[in-house]
Amino acid sequence: MHAMTYAFGGLGSAPIPPDVQEHLAAREARAPGDEAPEDGWRDGALELSGISLSFGGVVALSDIDLSLRRGEIRAIIGPNGAGKSSLINVVSGIYRPDRGHVRIEGKRYGQVPTQELARLGIARTFQNLALFKGLSVLDNVVSGRAHAVRSSFLGQIAGVGLSRREDADARDRAARILEFLHLTQVRDRLAGTLPYGLQKRVELARALVAEPAILLLDEPMAGMTVTEKNEMAGFVRAARDQFGTTVVLIEHDIGVVMGLSDRVAVLDYGRKIADGPPDEVQRDQRVIDAYLGVAPENEDGEGI
């Protein structure tokens, strides 16, 4: 297979990782009847309808509609300030939209209850690391099971009965996720002593140990090396394939996005300007003008 690249903003081409190329080839070979119906709520995990949000008169989001099918990787891309993180913050309940609603597994919310995110089956990572750097990797991941604690405060202090069983269960689940993400060898190290790329992976582990139905990833590969990005892309896909997790992905690396995602939505100045399969979105002239800068090239270097 020829090396595939995507041009980005006229700054050169980012190579698509080999495993992502395989995913692209498999997706292109998929029979037309294999796709889930566009309007079938039966297959829906999350739906945003008419979401609008402003801050002091500055429009962050304007009438955004977005749907996610169960088990898909759904990317949201766009220039800085386009409203991507604002949209994630609406889904996770940090922001209440001025208009519109969020529907999770069929239940409608004007504002998603942040304190109930885990119960609703939603977990997220953040642009900036939010680890407990003075705790071990294992303890950081165990903290992702806090929503499952049912024992009393006194029971947790004493470490007996239900509290002991819950702690053992959380550590067992955390150990399995660490193994899944190839982090077992660093489980006892302080999180703050790890290289940046591994810290980002620990944050992914903490989100996955909650066993979310929907995983919100806000720039999970920001600041990573090419090798680290390739590894992270593989782990995100593996999480979807192995656990059936629906993924919302915000990411600036266009090569990774176009290869990893099933569908891509593009925001610009708070408005959705394109939405569809990666191969259609990357050829949309509005997307090229607003974000990509140049059209993708074929293997002969000619625009397609």
Q: Assess if residue 294 is contained within a domain.
A: yes
The residue ranking higher by pLDDT, 153 or 123, is 123
Decide if pLDDT at 77 tops 80.
yes
Number of domains in the chain: 1
* Domain span at 304: 1-30+42-121+251-304
Q: Assess if residue 3 is contained within a domain.
A: yes
* Highest-pLDDT range among 31-35, 156-160, 251-255, 259-263: 259-263
Decide if pLDDT at 291 tops 50.
yes
Average pLDDT over residues 65-93: 94
Residue 240 vs residues 168, 279, 293: alpha-carbon distances, Å? 26, 21, 31
The DSSP string of 50-115 is EEEEEETTEEEEEEEEEEEETT-EEEEE-STTSSHHHHHHHHTTSS--SEEEEEETTEEESS--GG
Token pair 């689940």 is found at: 173
Decide if pLDDT at 249 tops 60.
yes
What is the pLDDT at residue 43? 58
pLDDT tier at 115 (50, 70, 90 boundaries)? confident
What is the pLDDT at residue 164? 66
Average pLDDT over residues 195-223: 94
CATH of the domain at 285: 3.40.50.300
Average pLDDT over residues 68-92: 94
3-state secondary structure of 223: coil
Average pLDDT over residues 79-107: 93
What is the pLDDT at residue 36? 39
CA-CA distance, 92 to 235, in Å (whole number)?
A: 22
Q: Assess if residue 142 is contained within a domain.
A: no
Decide if pLDDT at 42 tops 90.
no
Across the chain, the runs of DSSP E, i.e. the strands, are: 5-7, 13-15, 44-55, 58-69, 73-77, 99-104, 107-109, 122-125, 214-218, 246-250, 263-268, 271-276
What is the pLDDT at residue 304? 30
Q: Assess if residue 220 is contained within a domain.
A: no
Average pLDDT over residues 219-242: 93
* Highest-pLDDT range among 2-6, 111-115, 158-162, 296-300: 111-115
What is the pLDDT at residue 40? 40
Contact status, residue 198 vs residue 230, Cβ threshold 8 Å: no
Both tokens of residue 243? 């656990």
Q: Assess if residue 269 is contained within a domain.
A: yes
Q: By mean pLDDT, which of 25-39, 147-161, 170-184 is the weakest?
A: 25-39
> Across the chain, what does the average pLDDT equal?
81
What is the pLDDT at residue 148? 54
Find, among 48, 58, 38, 130, the residue nearest to 88 by Cα. 48
Both tokens of residue 192? 């703050």
What is the pLDDT at residue 293? 63
Q: Assess if residue 243 is contained within a domain.
A: no
Q: Assess if residue 233 is contained within a domain.
A: no
The residue ranking higher by pLDDT, 34 or 96, is 96
What is the pLDDT at residue 170? 87
**Other residues' Cβ atoms within 10 Å of the Cβ of residue 192:** 13
What is the pLDDT at residue 84? 94
What is the pLDDT at residue 41? 42
Q: By mean pLDDT, which of 45-54, 142-151, 166-175, 221-230 is the weakest?
A: 142-151
The residue ranking higher by pLDDT, 199 or 8, is 199
CA-CA distance, 198 to 228, in Å (whole number)?
A: 9
Q: Sort strands 246-250 and 73-77 into parallel, antiparallel or unpaired.
A: parallel
Decide if pLDDT at 157 tops 60.
no
Q: Assess if residue 83 is contained within a domain.
A: yes
pLDDT tier at 195 (50, 70, 90 boundaries)? very high
What is the pLDDT at residue 33? 34
Decide if pLDDT at 61 tops 90.
yes
The residue ranking higher by pLDDT, 157 or 271, is 271
